[in-house]
Chain A
């Protein structure tokens, strides 16, 4: 069976929501078990006292990426059938900057705030309420930001193509960079005073 299974028609549509709950549960469990239900643990990455976010995030992205490349190579899945988020350059940068500010203020991102709500964090519930209002405000004010939202459309481009290197070479460089960051993070953690939370 060549994946992706649902788009290829191997799994009936009726299973869609069951699969969504199961995959979501795996997502939520690993996030919580890694410590992402604590805003102060998450923020450790930005002050140098706990780099768990950096480690988990890059390990996860690389695991999935390398896995998908092997699946494609072995003929188990068709990489070209995967949804690649399209690049709207201006919107991606401006949106990312706004999210970065929100991250430093709120201490959560949406996924981690859901995990924190599940274990009883009041601040996460308040963050998610803000999230809902922010999304509503954006939707209502869309005519004002439509130009930024639609500008700089480069289509579903791959980072490797835009840099002019092969997927394999890019992934190899990404792994080396990640290992360097993990090593650097350990050095920084040793020097920074531990924060109790």
Chain B
């Protein structure tokens, strides 16, 4: 009796939005972003801006001479540069709010019972490195290139989306023991 009432409680961490409703909300947020700013949402760009700013502070001559860093160094002509950093601060706040509301706040490392926490963390770290490299090459990640690109029919958005998902399906088989 107690267990079933616990299960129906939407604040015990097991409640998720209906995926089509969640997708529609996400689409409306993206639509609002385009309507207001003329650009889409992003995620990896905020990390890139952090890296560029950090390296530029430590070694300004190095960044000015680099063909990559000097594309993104803040200047008076590029006031939008920090937009993504503020957006990601919002992402953290929004996700925290949802986590509080639905009772999902706790420190943990999520992994399949078939692998150790250590193995999970090594793979998470390696996956992060690859995602970092790939997102710079493709000029955006799943948010900035694939999702936002698709919303404005960018060919690159569709190509990147198919490359990410297609490759992930292939490698999911290789790494299946990590997940199922």
Contacts and interface: CB of A to CB of B under 8 A. Distances in A.
Nearest to B41: A27
A104 B131 CA distance: 10
Interface in B147-180: 147-172, 174-176, 178-180
Given A85-B154, A105-B126, A60 B27 contact: yes
Given A110-B43, A134-B131, A138-B137, A24 B142 contact: no
B50 to A, nearest CB: 7
Given A4-B34, A5-B36, A97-B134, A110 B156 contact: no
Contact of A110 (B38, B112, B131, B148): B131
B165 A110 contact: no
Given A16-B83, A107-B179, A120-B106, A34 B172 contact: no
Contact of A97 (B127, B157, B163): B163
A60 B97 contact: no
B162 A132 contact: no
Given A34-B17, A136-B55, A138-B133, A110 B166 contact: no
B87 to A, nearest CB: 4
A130 B99 CA distance: 24
Contact of A158 (B66, B127, B155, B180): B155
B163 to A, nearest CB: 2
Contact of A6 (B20, B37, B86, B171): B37
Contact of A49 (B92, B148, B151, B180): B180
Interface string B1-39: 000000000000000110110111111111111111111
Interface in A1-18: 3-7, 11, 13, 16-17
Contact of A30 (B17, B31, B99): B17
Given A24-B89, A104-B168, A83 B134 contact: no
A61 B67 contact: no
A142 B71 CA distance: 12
A190 B15 CA distance: 20
Interface residues of A, number: 130
B47 A123 contact: no
Contacts of A4: 34-39
Contacts of A139: 48, 51-52, 55, 66, 68-69, 136
A143 B51 CA distance: 17
B103 to A, nearest CB: 10
Nearest to B125: A130
B118 to A, nearest CB: 11
Contacts of B37: 4-7, 19, 23
A68 B31 contact: yes
B166 A86 contact: no
Interface of A: 3-7, 11, 13, 16-17, 19-35, 37-41, 43, 46-47, 49, 51-52, 55-65, 67-68, 71, 76-77, 79, 81-89, 91-124, 126-139, 142-143, 145-146, 148-149, 154, 156-162, 167, 170-171, 195, 197
30 contacts: A5-B35, A6-B36, A20-B84, A20-B87, A21-B93, A27-B87, A46-B168, A47-B180, A59-B20, A62-B27, A85-B152, A87-B156, A92-B138, A95-B145, A95-B160, A96-B162, A98-B134, A105-B178, A108-B127, A108-B128, A109-B164, A111-B91, A130-B132, A133-B132, A134-B135, A135-B44, A135-B133, A135-B135, A143-B67, A167-B153
